[in-house]
Structure 1
Amino acid sequence: MLDDLDRRILRIWQAETSLSPAELAERCAVTPGKAARRIARMQDAGVIEGISAMVDWATLGYSVEVSLRITLDKTVARAFDDFLVAAREVPEVTEIQTFLGRVDVRLNIIARDMAHYQNIYRSRILTLPHIAEIEALMQIARIKAEEALPL
């Protein structure tokens, strides 16, 4: 589905997302029109889902990041659905992942400080439906966070 030019466009754009369309075309050694058509085709095909801004939460005052591993009460028929609907409503939840195994869901939570996290945990997380068990993992450092694919 992707040819060498498509891969080159994606590889360069992933490495430098701030490039303008003209700069991207120049780096790929094609005309701006050709690059734009390729990008539009990849967007239409769902290869490129969107363009987003990466926000440095620490710069905005969020210094605490906690990962919660949650096991749900699977005796309730709609436990997953009910939980996921409610978890999406918590603004400090930045990521939700589901798993097969003992742990059902992982929530990533950001907070300004430990007092703020404690408030979020008590007032928003513990009120989520069908929780059987929670394990909290506090992030110390992010060693690698790569969204780019090796194209």
Structure 2
Amino acid sequence: MLDDTDRRLLRQLLAEPSLGTSDLAERAGLTTATCWRRLEKLQAAGVITARQAVIDWRALGYAVEVSLRFTLDKTEPRAFDEFLEAARQVPEVIGIETFLGRVDVRLNVIARDMAQYQEIYRRRILTLPHIADIEALMLIATIKDSAGLPL
């Protein structure tokens, strides 16, 4: 599906997503027109889905990040849908993932400090529907956080 030119273009895009088409073309060794056509092709194929800003929550004063793993009470047929709908409404939830296995859902929650986290946990997390079990993992350090692929 991807040729060497596409891979080279994607490597440059991953390295610096904010580049304009002409700068990206120059770095990838392409003409601007060719670069634009390739980007359009990759977007149409669903390879490139968006260009987005990555925000460092810690720089904005959020010092606490907790990964909460939930097992849901699956005796209710709509447990997943109702839980996910309610979790989307919690502003401090920055990530929601579902799994197959012992853990059903993981929420990533941020807070400015432990006092705020405790308030969020008590008032917003524990009130989510259909919780059978919760496990909390507090983030200590991020060793690798890369959206890059081995292209």
- TM (norm. structure 2) is 0.97
Cα deviation code 1:50-89 (max 9, x no counterpart)? 0000101111110100000101001111111111111111
C-alpha separation between the residues in 2 aligned to 1:41 and 1:101? 37
- 1:149 deviation in Å? 1.1
Cα deviation code 1:88-108 (max 9, x no counterpart)? 111111111111111111110
C-alpha separation between the residues in 2 aligned to 1:29 and 1:104? 45
Consecutive unaligned residues of structure 2, counting only runs of 5 or more, are: none
C-alpha separation between the residues in 2 aligned to 1:29 and 1:147? 23
Alignment correspondent of 2:145: 145
C-alpha separation between the residues in 2 aligned to 1:103 and 1:70? 6
Consecutive unaligned residues of structure 1, counting only runs of 5 or more, are: none
| Secondary structure, counterpart of 2:94 in structure 1 | strand
Matches within 5 A, 1:8-19: 8-19=8-19
Alignment correspondent of 2:26: 26
Matches within 5 A, 1:94-109: 94-109=94-109
C-alpha separation between the residues in 1 aligned to 2:150 and 2:98? 25
| Secondary structure, counterpart of 1:70 in structure 2 | strand
Alignment correspondent of 1:74: 74
Matches within 5 A, 1:110-121: 110-121=110-121
| Secondary structure, counterpart of 1:47 in structure 2 | coil
- 1:19 deviation in Å? 2.1
Residue type at the aligned position of 1:86: A
Residue type at the aligned position of 2:64: V
C-alpha separation between the residues in 2 aligned to 1:91 and 1:149? 30
Cα deviation code 1:4-36 (max 9, x no counterpart)? 111110011101223221111001111111101
Q: Calculate percent identity across the aligned residue pairs.
A: 66
Alignment correspondent of 1:91: 91
The Cα RMSD (Å) is 0.9
Across the two proteins, how many residue pairs are aligned to each other? 151
Alignment correspondent of 1:55: 55
Of 8-17 and 64-73, more deviation after overlay is shown by 8-17
Residue type at the aligned position of 1:148: G
